[in-house]
């Protein structure tokens, strides 16, 4: 299954990715019968979800899997299913996030609420198509969240393994929702509070994307407190670096690669670390101009370019790049000090680079 050479970890990562994809698609397909028993109309939601799930980096399942392997766990399909359940949690988070942000695009396709609004309009149904789209997206997200738990619980693993992981699954679900709320509050308070921006990054990204999935996998195998703490020392700084990269991509990213419209974070007025740093470093006049541009739903290409230049002029972007490099380095150093399976160490080291040096 794995190749013991420096090129091996790419194959390992790809292998896990494709097994995770297969697992989540097959779980959702199995559930189509239950939806169809309610009514054939449910097929629209089912197909929308399958299309949505066909894309995705499978990052959280990957960290969960390599947490299990790091602790010494063998290759087991049941673990793939338990790890893949995190894709359904992520689907809920993204589908609901797009509703909250009013985002039209996700993964290079219309967001779920836009897609369902179009289906409503095409069917010539009564009422407001946008409202219908939002209702459908809220419910589909709820279904994904319920299925997260169902997919995890029905994995072919001993009940002891599942019970050991459950507290980590529980805490990560609460943390991601709470982190999302804090993000919305930060946006509404609209202050140049970079501590708050980093706290949002910690909860909605660092813990949710990396630390908790790793710990979930390791705890399932029965990893001890020392291992879990070691994985946390790797996961938290890496997760922060991951989110900081996301912040840069949200402002400067290529829509073709990110799958989101250009400057989306600017239009939404997200108070990321990058943005709060720029507001702090800018001249008073520039900060005032930037503050006006942020969160303007009508922001056009000119406005986006203006905001990009204002941010770049402050040097905040370079600051963020430095921080990403620092945090990634810190993660890799921590990884060296943890006592884990050598194959897992190699993959986790490669994943650290993949998560922080990327274009989308």
Q: What tokens were used for 132? A: 């219908």
- The single residue among 58, 60, 114, 173 that binds a second copy, judged by CB under 8 A, is 173
Q: Checking phi first, is residue 156 left (phi over 0); if not, alpha (psi -120 to 50) or beta?
A: beta
| Least distance to a second copy, CB of residue 289, Å | 16
Q: Determine the interface stretch with a second copy among 54-62, 98-106, 323-331, 344-352 (rule: CB under 8 A).
A: 98-106
Q: Would you say 47 or 353 has its CB closer to a second copy?
A: 47
The verdict on 139 binding a second copy (CB under 8 A) reads yes
Q: What tokens were used for 141? A: 């997200």
**CB contact burial 265-303 (16+ within 10 A = b; e otherwise):** bbbbbbbbbbbbbbbebbeeebbeebbebbbeeebeeeb
| Least distance to a second copy, CB of residue 17, Å | 26
* Contacts with a second copy, 4-43, as mask; x by CB under 8 A: ---------------------------x--xx--xx-xx-
| Least distance to a second copy, CB of residue 234, Å | 21
Residues 6+ apart with CB under 8 A from 90: 56, 60
Instruction: Please tell me whether residue 109 adopts helix, strand or coil conformation.
Output: strand
* Contacts with a second copy, 180-219, as mask; x by CB under 8 A: xxx-xx-xxxx-----x--x---x----------------
- The single residue among 17, 57, 166, 358 that binds a second copy, judged by CB under 8 A, is 166
- The single residue among 59, 81, 164, 175 that binds a second copy, judged by CB under 8 A, is 175
The verdict on 239 binding a second copy (CB under 8 A) reads no
Q: How crowded is residue 8: how many other Cβ atoms within 10 Å of its Cβ? A: 16
Q: Contacts with a second copy: how many residues (CB under 8 A)? A: 60
Strand partners of residue 266: none
The verdict on 134 binding a second copy (CB under 8 A) reads yes
Q: Determine the interface stretch with a second copy among 51-59, 68-76, 104-112, 142-150 (rule: CB under 8 A).
A: 142-150
Q: Would you say 185 or 229 has its CB closer to a second copy?
A: 185
Name which of 239, 244, 207, 253 is nearest 324 in CA terms.
Answer: 244
Q: Determine the interface stretch with a second copy among 172-180, 223-231, 259-267, 328-336 (rule: CB under 8 A).
A: 172-180
Place of tokens 């013991």: 4
Q: Which helix (H) or strand (E) holds 312?
A: helix 301-314
Alpha-carbon radius of gyration of the chain = 21
- CA-to-CA separations, 272 to 186, 192, 235, 262, in angstroms, rounded: 9, 9, 20, 16
Instruction: Please tell me whether residue 158 adopts helix, strand or coil conformation.
Output: coil
Place of tokens 């702090």: 280
Q: Determine the interface stretch with a second copy among 2-10, 167-175, 217-225, 279-287 (rule: CB under 8 A).
A: 167-175
Residues 6+ apart with CB under 8 A from 63: 209, 210, 213, 214, 217, 235, 351
| Least distance to a second copy, CB of residue 229, Å | 17
* Backbone phi and psi for residue 106, each to the nearest 5 degrees, phi listed first: -155, 135
Kindly list the residues in this chain that would bind a second copy in the complex (CB under 8 A).
31, 34-35, 38-39, 41-42, 45, 92, 96, 99-100, 102, 120, 123, 125-127, 131-132, 134-136, 138-143, 145-147, 149-150, 153, 159, 163, 166, 170-171, 173-175, 177-182, 184-185, 187-190, 196, 199, 203, 269, 295
């Amino acid at each position: 299954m794995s190749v013991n050479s420096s090129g091996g970890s790419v194959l390992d990562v790809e292998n896990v990715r494709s097994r995770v994809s297969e697992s989540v698609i097959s779980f959702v397909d199995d559930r189509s019968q239950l939806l169809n028993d309610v009514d054939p109309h449910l097929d629209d939601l089912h197909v929308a979800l399958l299309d949505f799930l066909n894309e995705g980096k499978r990052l959280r399942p990957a960290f969960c899997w390599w947490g299990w392997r790091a602790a010494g766990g063998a290759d087991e399909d049941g673990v793939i299913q338990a790890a893949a359940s995190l894709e359904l949690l992520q689907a809920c988070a993204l589908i609901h996030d797009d509703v909250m942000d009013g985002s039209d695009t996700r993964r290079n396709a219309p967001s779920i609420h836009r897609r369902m609004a179009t289906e409503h309009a095409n069917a010539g149904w009564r009422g407001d198509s946008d409202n219908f789209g939002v209702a459908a997206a809220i419910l589909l997200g709820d279904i994904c969240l319920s299925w997260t738990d169902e997919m995890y619980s029905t994995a072919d693993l001993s009940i002891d393994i599942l019970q050991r992981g459950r507290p980590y699954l529980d805490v990560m679900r609460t943390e991601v929702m709470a982190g999302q709320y804090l993000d919305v509050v930060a946006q509404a308070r609209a202050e140049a509070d970079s501590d708050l921006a980093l706290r949002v990054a910690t909860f909605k990204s660092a813990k949710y994307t990396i630390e908790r999935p790793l710990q979930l996998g390791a705890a399932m195998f029965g990893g001890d407190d020392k291992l879990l703490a070691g994985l946390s020392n790797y996961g938290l700084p890496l997760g922060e670096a991951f989110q900081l990269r996301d912040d840069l991509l949200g402002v400067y990213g290529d829509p073709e690669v990110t799958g989101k419209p250009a400057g989306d974070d600017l239009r939404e007025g997200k108070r990321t670390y990058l943005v709060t740093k720029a507001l702090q470093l800018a001249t008073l006049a520039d900060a005032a101009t930037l503050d006006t541009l942020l969160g303007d739903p009508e922001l056009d290409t000119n406005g986006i370019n203006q905001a990009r230049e204002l941010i770049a002029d402050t040097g905040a972007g370079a600051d963020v790049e430095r921080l990403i490099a620092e945090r990634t380095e810190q993660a890799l150093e921590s990884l060296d000090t943890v006592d884990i399976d050598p194959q897992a160490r190699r993959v986790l080291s490669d994943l650290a680079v993949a998560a922080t040096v990327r274009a989308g």
